[in-house]
Amino acid sequence: MHSAFLLLNLALLGNAIALPLHAQPTLYAQAEENVDVPLLVNSAANFVRGDRYQTQSQMQVNATCRGVSTAVKADLNVTAQYPDRIRAEVTIQKEDGTPDFPLLVVVQGDKVWEYRSDRQQYAALSLEAFKQSGHGFLIGLTNIFFLEAQESIKAQLREGVTPTDEIAEDLLADVSVSQTASPPGDEYTIYHLQDNYDIFTSNIVVRPRDETIQQIDMTLSLDETYKLEVSDKITARQENPAVTDETFSFSPTAEMTEVSFEQIYPTNLFGDDCF
């Protein structure tokens, strides 16, 4: 079984990387002695406890493939409903931080729509095709983390039970974890996760006073050929936001033109020749 940490990264890459299946280390054998595992587990439980959240975050993506670099900054306003409903209002930014163009991503089960209102263009694709497209980052790492929660864990949380051992195993199997203190004056704990295949690393930033996840960073490196860095910093998060029948649906109008997803957002952060 792969951890939620690895699934988070693989959700961005589809089947581009095949991981070995033989290694199954346990969490506590891989955690350094000074790591506050209960804080991390409780923060993860709190993060996925509800069934619907609206999250505003700031995303930064940097990708390098064979010496060619790509950078993306975006503001995200995402409503996510467990297990498979998403409405992501994305504002892609220019290099100076001003808005460039808007994107809307709607996920309804295995159906996905991407829409650019500035061009009146939309693309319709399956969830699997969306994952393979390299556009998965558009919904944000934190929202992927929420939607990847195991149903068995969610069921216990709904009953008011926090399955500590199951969350720890699900979150940190196949990885080692260390912890660093925040700089003086800051009230954050940063967990550093390293997978056992030397491909992924991740940071999870936790605020101890209310046991909440504030930021998730991910780095993927492959043989000095390809490097991807994604940072998703939460600025606001609300549980149980109001939704309507239109929130997780998309209905093209006569003025819209259907195009391929490459035309909606052409940047290929994952590089066809990088794997």
Q: Would you put residue 209 in left (φ > 0), alpha (ψ -120 to 50) or beta?
A: alpha
16-30, 122-136, 256-270: the lowest-pLDDT one: 16-30
For residue 8, count other CB atoms closer than 10 A to its CB. Answer: 21
CATH for 4-16+23-241, options being 3.40.50, 1.10.1060, 2.50.20, 1.10.30: 2.50.20
Residues above pLDDT 70, as percent of the chain: 83
| pLDDT tens sequence across 187-199 | 899 999 998 777 8
| Cα(90)–Cα(175) distance, integer angstroms | 31
| pLDDT tens sequence across 212-242 | 999 999 998 877 778 889 999 999 999 999 9
What is the average pLDDT score of the chain? 85
Q: What is the per-residue DSSP string for 188-257? A: -EEEEEEETTSSEEEEEEEETTTTEEEEEEEEEEETTTEEEEEEEEEEEEEES----TTTT-----TT-E
What are the extents of the domains in the chain? 4-16+23-241
